[in-house]
């Protein structure tokens, strides 16, 4: 039996430290599924594990892509499953860690398949977006797939502001004449491993305090300078990310620097709330307080797999 120990939870909760402790105990390697840590140009703002952490255990999918590459969750699913297949040839365990719920689900459950969309439909949706803005995409999705629109609005409202994701939803609705949601959860993917789901949580105020502290540390470590080097490419999808977007607004003269930093903290807190909402949907996750002794977590895992 092969086991994929999967660590989830909100940002800044301590997932990296736990993943390294578990990788050492089970003598195995770590697969990252943090969708922003894939990009080599982004280090400070994505809280990439430091050099000491990276040396402590073998990590995969950390800074392995460029922001200039078009890298989708479907691409990640294929590459990560191939890597897991390779790792499981010599080990019964691997660790999956990250706060990107969609990417975790892609590995554990599989990514939904969609029909090919006529390029002319994509071009028309893109053209309308450029002329009419994000409101056009939101109105179209609400019209063509009202149930899915409501689901996003409740569970992950930031997605409604993401033009790439929204264009995809709308082009599928128009190109297939069916709701986008009708293609979701149709395919049952077989996996050659058993997931062991571990969640880290804390009182909301503790999470918020840790986030605020982490943002201050990032600013001290040079996040402003990192964002300045990325600013010329601010339109790229990879850079539509909390921590960079707010500083781009500062460079544009829209925000003062203190206000931009406060916005990073506020938007990261909102993001952490959405992460918890997403991960709490899975009833198979065993939740631990973030300060739980790691021996207790290891004991839980070992008892589960006996």
Report whether pLDDT(188) > 80: no
Q: Which of 42, 116, 38, 102 is nearest to 71 (CA)?
A: 38
* Residue 178 neighbours by CB distance under 10 Å: 14
Q: What's the angle, vertex CA 73, arms to CA 72 and CA 75, rounded to 5?
A: 65
Question: Which CATH class name applies to 119-183?
Answer: mainly alpha
Give the pLDDT confidence of 281-295 residue by residue, as tens digits. Answer: 889 999 999 999 999
Max Cα separation, the chain?
59
Known binding positions? 9-16
Binding residue numbers for ATP: 9-16
Q: What is the DSSP letter of 66?
A: -
Please compute, for residue 203, the number of CA atoms within 13 A of its CA located in the half-sphere on the CB side: 3
Residue-wise pLDDT tens digits, 229-249: 999 999 998 999 999 999 999
| Contact yes or no for 126/175 (Cβ under 8 A) | no
Contact 271, 11 (CB under 8 A): yes
The pTM of the full predicted model, rounded to 2 decimals, is 0.79
Report domain extents, the chain. 3-112+187-305, 119-183
Tell me the binding residues for substrate: 11-16
Residue range 121-177, pLDDT digits in tens: 989 999 999 999 999 999 999 999 999 999 999 877 888 988 888 999 999 999 999
Using CA atoms, how far residue 191 sits from 3, 106, 201, in Å, is: 11, 11, 27
Q: Which CATH code fits 3-112+187-305?
A: 3.40.50.300
């Amino acid at each position: 039996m092969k086991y994929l120990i999967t660590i989830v939870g909100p940002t800044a909760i301590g997932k990296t430290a736990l993943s390294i402790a578990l990788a050492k105990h089970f003598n195995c390697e770590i697969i990252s599924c943090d969708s922003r840590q894939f990009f080599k140009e982004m280090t400070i703002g994505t809280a990439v594990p430091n050099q000491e952490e990276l040396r402590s255990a073998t990590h995969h999918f950390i800074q392995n892509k460029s922001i200039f590459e078009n890298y989708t969750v479907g691409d990640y699913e294929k590459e990560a499953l191939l890597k897991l297949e390779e790792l499981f040839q010599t080990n019964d365990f691997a660790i999956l860690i990250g706060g990107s719920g969609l990417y975790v689900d892609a590995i554990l459950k599989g990514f939904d398949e969609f029909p090919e969309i006529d390029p002319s439909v994509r071009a028309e949706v893109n053209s309308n977006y450029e002329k009419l803005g994000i409101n056009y995409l939101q109105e179209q999705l609400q019209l063509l797939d009202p149930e899915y629109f409501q689901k996003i609005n409740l569970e992950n409202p930031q997605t409604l502001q993401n033009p790439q994701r929204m264009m995809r939803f709308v082009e599928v609705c128009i190109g297939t004449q069916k709701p986008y949601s009708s293609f979701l959860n149709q395919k049952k993917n077989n996996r050659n491993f058993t997931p062991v789901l571990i969640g880290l949580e804390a009182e909301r105020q503790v999470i918020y305090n840790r986030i605020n502290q982490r943002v201050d540390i990032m600013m001290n470590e040079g996040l402003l300078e990192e964002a300045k080097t990325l600013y010329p490419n601010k339109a790229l999808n990879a850079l539509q990310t909390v921590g960079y977007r707010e500083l781009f607004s500062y460079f544009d003269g829209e925000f003062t620097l203190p206000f931009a930093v406060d916005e990073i903290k506020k938007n990261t807190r909102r993001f952490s709330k959405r992460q918890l909402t997403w991960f709490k949907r899975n009833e198979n996750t065993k939740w631990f307080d973030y300060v739980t002794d790691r021996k207790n977590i290891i004991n839980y895992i070992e008892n589960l797999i006996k």
